Amino acid sequence: MKASIVGASQGVSMILLASKSPQRTQLLKQAGLRHITITTIDDDMENSSQPAQILAVERARAKARGADWQAQEHYFAQSHAAVVAADTIVHLAGRVFGSPQNADEAERMLADLSGTRHSILTAHCCWLPAINGEPEKEAVAVSVAQVTMLPMSMEDIQAYVASGESIGRAGGYAVQLQGDRFVADIQGDRDTVIGLHVASVQRIYREVTGHTPEESAS
């Protein structure tokens, strides 16, 4: 698959974003950070009985290691490149909510979250594979936000699910789109809820590569 390149050039700091999520790509674009997008394993991995934070971290690590970085291996020689992946889950009263795969699942998920205060956890993994005689390196970070959702009627839920926004989004809603009207309050960073905490990405990228992610050419 051909990479999508934003501000790529030789000898610069480069994030290889292992994600098919358009909102994660958009957050890096908005931050002005140089990056390319690469394919990875299916974002919608099955949940498990593990604690929410451990599950999110393991999924982010699996996505980083499952990325098709070999197709872009030249970036590791030409720039300070590292793979970055993220995973976002919703946590409420001991339950973990991932991304709904169909309308029925989305409706059930939103009905359970309606009128609640729940946690959003976005785990990030920055990974540098063992190449050029160097050992692999990894750093992880988890960002947490609290979302208070307004009560939603079944009619509200069905209409929102029919819009198509729910599928593939943690908790079944998108706070950056129409789902924002159901949110009463966010405690924490909004980009954590959207799916990529940029400050965390910058920190773990520096930890792994020793360099700061560079801004795209304007």
Residue 119 pLDDT grade (very low, low, confident, very high; cuts 50, 70, 90): very high
Which active-site residues does the annotation give?
Answer: 87
Task: Give the list of residues 6+ apart from residue 202 with CB closer than 8 angstroms, or none.
Answer: 33, 212, 213
Residue whose C-alpha is closest to residue 66's, from 23, 16, 24? 16
| DSSP secondary structure string for all residues of 57-112 | HHHHHHHHHTS-GGGGTHHHHHSEEEEEEEEEEEEETTEEE---SSHHHHHHHHHH
- Structural tokens at position 51: 């604690």
Number of residues that this document lists for the chain: 218
The pLDDT of 3-21, averaged and rounded, is 67
pLDDT of residue 61: 96
CA 173 distance to own-chain centroid: 14
- The alpha carbon dihedral of 5, 72, 81, 85 has a sign of positive
Q: In the predicted model, is pLDDT for residue 72 greater than 80?
A: no
Distance between CA atoms of 48 and 52, rounded to whole angstroms? Answer: 9
How much is the pTM?
0.87
Residue whose C-alpha is closest to residue 177's, from 156, 162, 163? 163
- C-alpha radius of gyration, the chain, whole number: 18
Q: pLDDT per residue over 23-62, tens digit each? A: 999 999 999 998 999 988 765 555 567 889 999 999 999 9
Fold category of 4-209 in CATH: Maf protein (3.90.950)
pLDDT of residue 17: 95
Q: pLDDT per residue over 130-165, tens digit each? A: 877 778 999 999 999 999 999 999 999 999 999 999
Distance between CA atoms of 111 and 52, rounded to whole angstroms? Answer: 20
Let me know: does 186 contact 175? Beta carbons within 8 Å.
yes
- Structural tokens at position 208: 């792994």
Domains of the chain, by residue range, sit at: 4-209
